[in-house]
Chain A
């Protein structure tokens, strides 16, 4: 069965390469959305809450504040309609899944930026 799984992973369910990021990072995801017959790119910038799953079904959750309302979107890594992912900030967080950020607003919701060497 492992042979089939490898075959599927490398064959028709190929992962698309994106820059490496983890929970706490701020990223911009550009993806294509279809409105009627037209397709246009749209950007979504926010903090990565988590990465979930493995292989072709791996997803990541991005949260942004739209005015006073928090908006979260879950993207799949293997979704071909994602045109690019840009890492804007590397955040310093102590866990892989930072759901606690949902309860925080204002100054408390800040994430310290990682110092690059």
Chain B
């Protein structure tokens, strides 16, 4: 993350490298039951591409791509119909300054975490006055013989992070077509150098 200044105000922002995406498949209601655009991104060695995927790329007439992502057609969207396989979408084709986008990524994995970190619990009681082993404990998880079970969805310790996260309504601050860069306000999920999906 870095920051830009607008009228003397510091706007925290993230720079995202957006190399041109290549259309690999256009799905339509007629053929697939729903409208969507499948795009490929990045480089994948042919040696590391499965035969099934190779066929898919060959059909579209594009080189093997590292990532394949599908964008569903939204209600108010113009149809993707005018885009054909192999069409190249660069940053400036899709995004403009001042627009709002959603960014989807995989959050940084934090491992198996307790309830204090994972759910913001306050822990139990005091550290002193005879307390023992309870400082970061979850406390009660429910009543006794009625209902005689723990309700599903009870917040407990477990894996934190490393999950799909969508951050909504990030403002596009800059579009740099020459360097394939996109600057959005705020933070996006995932580590530095991670892959994200940007939706309008």
* Interface residues in chain A, defined as those with a beta carbon under 8 Å from any beta carbon in chain B: 1, 4, 7-8, 11-13, 31-34, 55-57, 76, 78-81
Q: Which 3 A-B pairs have the closest CB atoms?
A: A81-B8, A56-B2, A8-B15
Are the C-beta atoms of A78 and B5 separated by less than 8 Å? yes
Are the C-beta atoms of B193 and A1 separated by less than 8 Å? yes
Are the C-beta atoms of A57 and B8 separated by less than 8 Å? no
Name the residue of chain B whose CB is nearest to the CB of A57. Answer: B3
Instruction: For B192, list chain A residues within 8 Å (CB).
Output: 1
For the complex with contacts A1-B193, A11-B179, A76-B3, 6 further pairs of A-B residues with Cβ separation under 8 Å are: A12-B174, A13-B2, A31-B8, A55-B2, A78-B5, A81-B5
The answer for the CA separation of A1 and B181 in the assembled complex, in Å, is: 12
Instruction: State which of A4, A8, A55, A80 has its C-beta within 8 Å of the C-beta of B5.
Output: A80
* Interface residues in chain B, defined as those with a beta carbon under 8 Å from any beta carbon in chain A: 1-5, 7-8, 10, 15, 17, 174, 176, 179, 181, 183, 192-193
The answer for the CA separation of A6 and B5 in the assembled complex, in Å, is: 18
Are the C-beta atoms of A79 and B5 separated by less than 8 Å? yes
Name the residue of chain B whose CB is nearest to the CB of A4. Answer: B17
Are the C-beta atoms of B8 and A80 separated by less than 8 Å? yes
Instruction: For B10, list chain A residues within 8 Å (CB).
Output: 76, 79
Instruction: State which of A12, A31, A78 has its C-beta within 8 Å of the C-beta of B176.
Output: A12
* Also in contact, A56 and B7, with CB within 8 A (given A4-B17, A7-B181): no
- Chain A nearest CB from B191 CB (Å) reads 11
Name the residue of chain A whose CB is nearest to the CB of B12. Answer: A57
The answer for the CA separation of A1 and B14 in the assembled complex, in Å, is: 13
Can you list 29 A-B pairs with a CB-CB distance of less than 8 A?
A: A1-B193, A4-B15, A4-B17, A4-B179, A7-B181, A8-B181, A11-B176, A12-B174, A12-B176, A12-B183, A13-B2, A13-B3, A13-B4, A31-B8, A32-B8, A33-B8, A34-B7, A34-B8, A56-B2, A57-B1, A76-B5, A76-B10, A79-B5, A79-B10, A80-B5, A80-B8, A81-B5, A81-B7, A81-B8
Name the residue of chain A whose CB is nearest to the CB of B10. Answer: A76
